[in-house]
Amino acid sequence: MKKAAFIGTGNMGSALIKAACRALGPDQVVVANRTFEKAEELAREIGCQAVRTNQEAAAAGEYVFLCVKPKLIHGVLEELSGALMDRVVVSVAAGVLLADLESWTGERVPVLRIMPNTPCAIGAGMTALSGGKTAKEKHFTDVEDILAQTGRVERIEEGLMDAFSAVAGCGPAFIYPYIEALADGGVAAGLPRSKALVYAAQMTLGAASMVLESGAHPGKLKDDVCSPGGSTIAGVAELERHGLRAAAIDAVLAAWQKNGQLGK
């Protein structure tokens, strides 16, 4: 028996599969996808096993990670009914409630939800974890061990999962356009495109690390960059004039509302 089976090898599934292979070793990971060739190609790349059906994956792995679209979770669980004895189901799907997962799997199957993000692929992810009624401490710690190479993992109440998803799950897509736009500004000011992107991305990484490592309020860190009468405050004033903060808050709220609808 392998430790982890993954159903769905798309953007999020493949990021988690790579991290699980690093944490457990590829011999502990089995993967399946609707298009087998896609699972096979990933398995060949990282050395884990690909199987042709979801049932084979569930039969081979103790922790069964469901990495398909929210609307497909119910159907996949119906397909797996009878194959989940002594298994633990871990859903990655946004907006699909633990209570629904429990009703679709049957009461005796422990169920957990996780909300990862794509930077899990390089060990820089932020993932939340919630457990259903029959999930035991061992199930939490086992999932945390499987996710050990994905980055930061935190247990949260399920009621906060949609809000967490909006900030951390969707968040990378709110940051990439910003990095791209900063680089565009750099290009407009004369930097070569390839250099401008590296400078913008490394700066973003550094600024985020300052928030996490210093514990200082982002407002204070911003103030530290703004020399009186200098260039930074001129740029900050432009961001405020264009409503950067309102745009960021509205983006998170729109994603939060949508997350709540995805499982329905």
Ligand X SMILES: NC(=O)C1=CN([C@@H]2O[C@H](COP(=O)(O)OP(=O)(O)OC[C@H]3O[C@@H](n4cnc5c(N)ncnc54)[C@H](O)[C@@H]3O)[C@@H](O)[C@H]2O)C=CC1
Ligand Y SMILES: O=C(O)[C@@H]1CCC=N1
- Pick the closer one to ligand X by CB: 124 or 191: 124
Q: Which is nearer to ligand Y, 24 or 73 (CB)?
A: 73
| DSSP secondary structure code for residue 8 in this structure | -
| Residue 24 or 65 having the CB closest to ligand X | 65
Give whichever of 118 and 134 is closer to ligand X, judged by the CB atom: 118
H-helix segments, the chain:
11-24, 36-46, 54-60, 73-79, 98-105, 137-146, 161-164, 172-188, 193-214, 218-225, 231-241, 244-262
127 touches which of ligand X, ligand Y, none (CB within 5 to 8 A by kind)? Answer: none
Integer Cα distance of 49 and 158 in angstroms: 32
Which helix or strand (DSSP H or E) is residue 95 part of? none
C-beta of 252: minimal distance to ligand Y in Å? 12
Nearest-CB residue for ligand X: 10
Residues that bind ligand X (CB under 6 A): 7-13, 32-35, 38, 54, 67-70, 72, 76, 92-94, 115-118, 169
Q: How far is the CB of 179 from ligand Y (least distance, A)?
A: 18
Q: Which is nearer to ligand X, 198 or 262 (CB)?
A: 262
Q: Residue 57 Cβ, how far from ligand Y at the closest point, in Å?
A: 22
C-alpha span between 231 and 75 (Å, rounded): 56
Cα 31 to Cα 143: distance, rounded to the nearest angstrom? 16
User: Closest CB to ligand Y among 69 and 217?
Assistant: 69
Our measurement of the distance from residue 234's CA atom to the centroid of its chain's CA atoms, rounded to an integer in Å, reads 35
- Bridge partners (DSSP) listed for residue 125: 151
> What SS3 state is found at 201?
helix
Closest CB 91 distance from ligand Y, rounded Å? 12
Binding residues for ligand Y, rule: CB under 6 A, are: 94, 165, 169-170
68 binds, among ligand X, ligand Y, none (CB under 5 to 8 A by kind): ligand X
| Residue (of 19, 110, 23, 5) closest to 68 by Cα position | 5
d(CA 29, CA 183): 39
Nearest distance in Å: CB 39, ligand X:
8
The two tokens of residue 92 are: 């990655």
Q: In the bound complex, what is the minimum distance in angstroms from residue 147's beta carbon to ligand Y?
A: 16
Q: Choose among ligand Y, ligand X, none what residue 227 binds, the Cβ cut-off being 5 to 8 Å by kind.
A: none
Amino acid at 101: L
93 binds, among ligand X, ligand Y, none (CB under 5 to 8 A by kind): ligand X
Task: State in angstroms the smallest separation of the CB of 73 from ligand X.
Answer: 7
Q: Which is nearer to ligand X, 105 or 196 (CB)?
A: 105
* Cα–Cα distance for residue pair 106/104, rounded to 1 Å: 6
